[in-house]
Amino acid sequence: MREIVFDTETTGLSPQNGDRLVEIGCVELINRVETGRVFHAYFNPERSMPSEAQAVHGLSETFLSDKPLFADKVEELLEFIADSPMVAHNAQFDFSFLNHELGLCARPIVLTDRMIDTLAIARSRHPGAKHSLDALCSRYGIDRSHRVLHGALLDAQLLSQLYVELTGGRQIGLMLATEESAPVSRIAESRVIVPTNRPVRPPRPHSASAEELARHAEFVARLTDPLWVQVGQAG
């Protein structure tokens, strides 16, 4: 199964109020394993960058001034994401900005039935805990020491690891293959087959019979200076 884990950086919190997308990072997963294929782009938002937003992601107006417009990269982005499910943390936020930009380019929006929200998954699994990306990376032992500022591609890569942990961890890679695969065949060949036509034997008695007890008493009576008598005398 192919999935796309993605993150965005923006000029603010609301596309309806004029905020724009300035960065997107996408990571491809196949069966919850990173393939190494990514899509990453910065965009010129054609507007100013509020200082509060720049403090979060570090992207200045000067840096973004020579970057392509979203419309210039939209076809490449759509080709990469294709029709795969899309995973994001607080996904409604990222979907709202992505779909706003697609609308400005007269492209079809990404339907929310493709949306997988890791924030919702985390809240379900860890009610009452902190659910930020930083807090969840700490909980699951994901190294984020290189994360100083928010960055769409870096955050998508961290999120892809977190998503795997939230949905079963690395054990999902240990699932058995299909019956046609070689590993299962080898497992089947190594199994011990127990015959089903063995005769059924009655249970063996575990207590001594009267005859056995008599023979034992006779044997003990013939012993001279047995060890347990010596021990008893020494005590």
Active site residues: 150
Instruction: Give backbone dihedrals phi and psi of 113, rounded to 5 degrees, phi first.
Output: -70, -10
The C-alpha atoms of residue 21 and residue 8 are separated, in whole angstroms, by: 7
Instruction: Give backbone dihedrals phi and psi of 224, rounded to 5 degrees, phi first.
Output: -110, 130
- Tell me the one-letter amino acid at 142: I
State the CB neighbour count (10 A cutoff) for residue 109.
Answer: 13
The C-alpha atoms of residue 19 and residue 13 are separated, in whole angstroms, by: 7
Torsion of CA 13, 17, 22, 26, to 10 degrees: 60
